[in-house]
Structure 1
Amino acid sequence: MSIRRHIPSGFATLLPYRVTPTRMACQINRLWAAVLCFGSVMVASSAWSGSGPTALSPLEVIAKWAPLLLRGFAFNIAISLLAMLLGTIAGLWLGLALLSEIKIVAGVSWFVTQVFRNAPWLVLLFFVMFLVPFQVTIFKTTIPLPDWQKATIGFALPVMANVAEVVRGAVRSIPSTQWEAAESLSFTRRQAMWLIILPQCIKRMLPPWMNIYSLVAMSTVLASIVGVSEMLTLTAQVHAAEGGRPELFAPLYGFALLCFFLYCYPINLWTAHLERRFHVH
């Protein structure tokens, strides 16, 4: 209940009780809506199923193959984390090269950033998969390069370009007075960058960095096109193993959609929270 003071009479006025939905409650309602939507798809598929009494229902099929599908989903997450790690490390140095006072370095870095940032992710994935050899021989030692490693490199390339732009934008957003203060304290440009400027950029870079990771996590399903045994590939194999029944198509792929939604949606909420906390616009 809320109390409002009435200025002319000086008496407190008791206002009627009203429940105001909070932001967290709205987000939870959206999450439950997605789960209920998946449940409705499962019920509809079960009602549509008419393959005979011996055939498993969609829920039973998902329960039967869930461990395998979840292992495939964990593989998607592992690829996204590794690609994000490699892309972030390379993107940090590429972003610093964009800010270089040497024109040749800045120009080459700008060209690399624009190429990998504006190229379709699937094209980059095919580019790496077919141009990188299956194995590398170093000093008579053969090192195999499986498809999932090449797919990780393919996802890391656009991450590198996008992280480079995030770094460049964050550094440019720091007031020039910070550079002037560092110069007045006899800091070199490199010392000022690593000790003064970049620490201030972390809170500016974190929300867009998390958005990039969400895109990478969702894009890992593209690896199924090049033969990587991730969740979408295993989902197609499970569907074929169950006889390719039409009523299983929506539940199986709906289960994959639900897994990615339950993983990426909290990241989205956390990103929005950090943007509000750090006042990043």
Structure 2
Amino acid sequence: MKKIETSILPVMMPRRIRPTNKFRLKAWHGIILVMLAIVTTVPAFAAEEPARASILDVLFRWMPLLLEGFVFNVIISIIAMAIGTITGAALGLGQISLNGSVRKFAWITTQFFRNAPWLVLLFFAMFLLPFEIRIGDFTIPLPDWVKAIIGLSLPVMANVSEIVRGGVSSLPSGQWEAAESLAFSRTQVLWRIILPQCVKRMLPPWMNLYSILTMATVLASIVGVSEMMTLTGQALAAEGGRSDLLMPFYSFVLLMFFIYCYPIARWTVRLEKKFAVIN
């Protein structure tokens, strides 16, 4: 009986996949940007006239008012994000609806507001919405800041809709099939199985969208809302239009938004690493 010789065949090892995105936000990036904002104000300090009040004195005098305007920016962003998230989640679920009419309406609405300029939507809300709404004997006023919130929540709604649709679509189909085999209804599958798993995938882009919205709240200054940029312009006008104040004041505005948005960006990067999905 002949002995069958066996040979070991070479096995090709899988190629190691290197991450394509090597750039990550680090803490020293923020320090460099802060130092850059400070350095840009040096020429303005050097050009100030001794007879006038110093730039620091003027900036410190107006700082409480500017900070109050920045808080208003944050409030606008939080409310607009809340409204956009609720309506966008409903619109995103409409995009995966089994009803063809609902799915088509949700898709058209999402694409329209997602691809429309934010400033145009803001003007749309400011000039086409009424100044007040009367319901019987009750009158509900709509001030400019409320219209600004509505105008900014429209593109947020569309982007959240895409985040929800993408998060649900990213889950493998086996999740749906396993749930259906256990006689779960579609509503039960969504709320108990699919959406809880999607939260981890949707949270980083949702936070990134909030940062973009916060920076976009300065657009409300164009339509007369008294936020930080509007108050900065009024403070400069009250100081007689001094050109040496332009750089320090607007650098302070830039610095405040950076201090608020940069930690959100860092937290988003951490969540992306923590909730990384390997298919």
Structure 1's unaligned 5+ residue stretches are: 1-22
Match of 1:179 among 176, 187, 207: 176
Shift of residue 117, structure 1, vs aligned partner = 0.2
Shift of 1:280: 5.2
SS of the residue aligned with 1:143? strand
2:274 equivalent in structure 1: 277
Residue 29 in structure 1 maps to residue 53 in structure 2: no
Find the residue that maps to 1:228 and give its secondary structure.
coil
Q: Distance in 2 between matches of 1:93 and 1:132?
A: 23
Shift of 1:49: 1.2
Deviation at 1:29, TM superposition (A): 1.7
Q: CA deviation at 1:36?
A: 1.5
Q: Matches of 2:108 and 2:37 in 1, distance apart?
A: 44
Q: Deviations over 1:106-146 (max 9, x none)?
A: 00111100000000000000001001000011111111110
The answer on 1:132 being equivalent to 2:129 is yes
Q: Residue by residue, what CA displacement relative to the aligned partner does 1:80-111 show, whole Å, maximum 9, x if unpaired?
A: 00000000000000000000111111001111
Task: Please state whether the residue corresponding to 1:60 is helix, strand or coil.
Answer: helix
Q: Tell me the TM-score normalized by structure 1.
A: 0.88
User: Partner residue of 1:4?
Assistant: none
Any conservation in 2 of the 1:87–1:160 contact (CA below 8 Å)?
yes
Change (3 A) 1:90 1:134: same
| Bigger shift: residues 37-46 or 265-274 | 37-46
Runs of 4+ more than 4 Å apart:
none
Matched to 1:42, the amino acid is T
- Give the number of aligned pairs: 256
CA distance in 2, matches of 1:83, 1:280: 30
Counterpart in 2 of 1:212? Answer: 209
Q: Tell me the SS of whatever aligns to 1:203.
A: helix
1:87 matched to 2:87? The reply is no
2:162 corresponding residue in structure 1: 165
What is the CA–CA distance in structure 2 between the aligned matches of 1:262 and 1:191, rounded to whole Å? 42
State the Cα distance separating 1:162 from its structure 2 match. 0.2
Q: How far off is 1:27 after superposition?
A: 2.2
Whether the 8 Å CA contact 1:129–1:154 is kept in 2: the answer is yes
Cα 1:31/1:119, change in 2 over 3 Å: same
C-alpha distance in structure 2 between counterparts of 1:39 and 1:179, whole Å? 54
Matched-pair contact (CA < 8 Å) for 1:42–1:59: no
> Within 5 Å, which residues of 2 pair with 1:144-159?
144-159=141-156
Question: What residue is the counterpart of 1:61 in the other structure?
Answer: 58
Structure 2 match to 1:11: none
Match of 1:192 in 2: 189
Q: 1:259 aligned to 2:261?
A: no
Amino acid at match of 2:272: E
Between the two structures, name the one with larger relative contact order (CA 8 Å, sep ≥ 6).
2
Identical amino acids, percent of aligned pairs: 57
231, 246, 259: which one aligns with 1:234: 231
- CA shift for structure 1 position 38: 2.2
Q: Structure 2 vs 1, CA of residues 65 and 215 (structure 1 numbering), >3 Å: closer, same or farther? A: same
**Unmatched 5+ stretches in structure 2:** 1-22
Per the alignment, residue 70 of structure 1 pairs with 67
Q: Equivalent residue for 1:120? A: 117
- 2:139 is paired with a residue whose SS is strand
Residue 221 (structure 1) shift: 0.2
Q: CA deviation at 1:185?
A: 1.0
Normalised to the residue count of structure 2, the TM-score between the two structures is: 0.89
Counterparts of 1:267 and 1:153, CA distance in 2: 23
**Which residue matches 1:223?**
220
| 1:10-25 equivalences in 2 (<5 Å) | none
Deviations 1:215-265 (A, max 9, x none): 100000000000000000000000011111111001101100000011111
Aligned residue among 133, 136, 139 for 1:142: 139
